[in-house]
Structure 1
Amino acid sequence: MAADYVLDRIDRRILAALQADGRLTNHALSEQVSLSPSACLARVRRLERSGVIRGYHARVDPFALDVGLVLYAEVTLKGHSPDELGRFERLVQDLPAVVEASHMTGDYDYLLKVVVADMAEWTRLAERMTEIGVDRINTHVMMNKPKFFVGYPVEIK
C-alpha cells in the first residue's frame, strides 16, 4: 500500500523531521512543517494508515543489552520454491536473535542481521537453520559500526 501513496513536499518534510526525532510532539512537528497541529496530525495519521510510516522506535546500543556478537549471515537455501522460501521466512520471524532479514538478489538468498551472546549460540542457531533447508551460511562478525542507520534520505521536492 505504501508504494501506491504519492508523497508531496509537506509529507516529505514530515518524514524527514520524524526520522530525525521520532519523539517530536505534534505541536513541534506542525511548527517545523508550517501546518496547523490538526492538519499535521491528520497527515501523520494518513502516512501511518498507508504504511509509509511503519512505526516509531528507539535506537538501542546492542552491547548495552549484553549482546556478545552482532553478525551478518549470508544464507543460501537448497531450494527456492515458494514453500521453501516461506518456511525459511517463518523461521526467521520466530527467532528473536534475527533482528533483520532481507531477501536478496545475487550470490545468496537472504542477508540476516543476528545478535547472540557468543559463537556457541550462533552455531546452535545456524545448525537449526540447516535442518530446514539452508545449504550454506557465510558469516561476518561486526567489529565496529562507524555509521548507524538514522533514516532514509528524504528528498524534499
Structure 2
Amino acid sequence: MLSQLMAENIDKMDRNILKLLQQDASISMDALAERVHLSRNACWRRIRQMEDAGVIRSRVALIDPAALGLGLTVFVMIRTNMHQSDWLETFARVVRDTPEIIGAHRMSGDLDYVLRVKVPDVDGYDRFYQRLIRQIPIADISASFVMDDIKDTTALPTDLAT
C-alpha cells in the first residue's frame, strides 16, 4: 500500500531523474538539471524529496565482480522444514552476515528461499556451502551456476505505467 502511494506521487519528471541517476549516480546536479530541463534547485529539491521518502535508497558504485576475483554467480535454492520464528531470525542473521550472499528472497511455491551468491569459483562455492550448513539446519539445498550473464542490471524500469 505504501509503495503504491509513493508510486502515485512520482511524476514523469521524477521518473526521468531516476532513470538518469540509475545510469550514472555521479552526474553533476548541473548536468542532471540540464538533461531533465529543470533548474538546478528544482532538480535538487526533487531528489531530496525522493531520498526523504525512501524512493532513492542510496547511491552506490557498481563494481565489476571479476575485478575482485568473484567471477562465479550461484543461485542457491533452499527448502526448509523449519518455520519457527527463532529459525527465521537465525536464517536472516546468517544471510545478512554472509558477504557472499548478495541477494536473498523468500519465495512462494516449491522453494522457500533463493539466494544469489558471488564467489571466486566452484571451490569458493563449496567453502560457502559448508559454512552455511554448519550455521543453520536446511532440509534441502541445491545450486545452479551462472554460465553467462545475458542481462544483469540494477536499473529499474522507470518508464512503465503504474
TM-score (norm 2): 0.86
Asked if residue 45 in structure 1 is aligned to residue 48 in structure 2, the reply is: yes
The 8 Å contact of residues 74 and 110 in structure 1, kept in 2 or not, is answered as yes
From the two aligned structures, give the one with the greater helix fraction. 2
* 3-state SS of 2:152 partner: coil
Counterpart among 94, 105, 109 of residue 106 in structure 1:
109
1:15-73: per-residue Cα shift (whole Å, max 9, x none)?
A: 11111222211111111222111111111111112111111222222112112522111
How far 1:119 sits from its partner (Å)? 2.7
Equivalent-residue separation in structure 2 for 1:148 and 1:116 (angstroms): 16
Asked if residue 36 in structure 1 is aligned to residue 19 in structure 2, the reply is: no
Counterpart among 18, 23, 36 of residue 20 in structure 1:
23
Identity of aligned residues (%): 36
TM-score (norm 1): 0.88
1:124-151: per-residue Cα shift (whole Å, max 9, x none)?
A: 3223333412211110111111222141
* Partner in structure 2 of residue 72 of structure 1: 75
* Partner in structure 2 of residue 136 of structure 1: 140
Equivalent-residue separation in structure 2 for 1:134 and 1:98 (angstroms): 16
* 3-state SS of 1:134 partner: coil
The 8 Å contact of residues 9 and 156 in structure 1, kept in 2 or not, is answered as no
Superposition RMSD in Å: 2.0
Equivalent-residue separation in structure 2 for 1:27 and 1:121 (angstroms): 44
5 Å matches for 1:49-68? 49-68=52-71
Which stretches of structure 1, 4 residues or more, deviate above 6 A after TM superposition?
none
* 3-state SS of 1:106 partner: coil
Long gaps (5+) in structure 1:
none
Long gaps (5+) in structure 2:
none
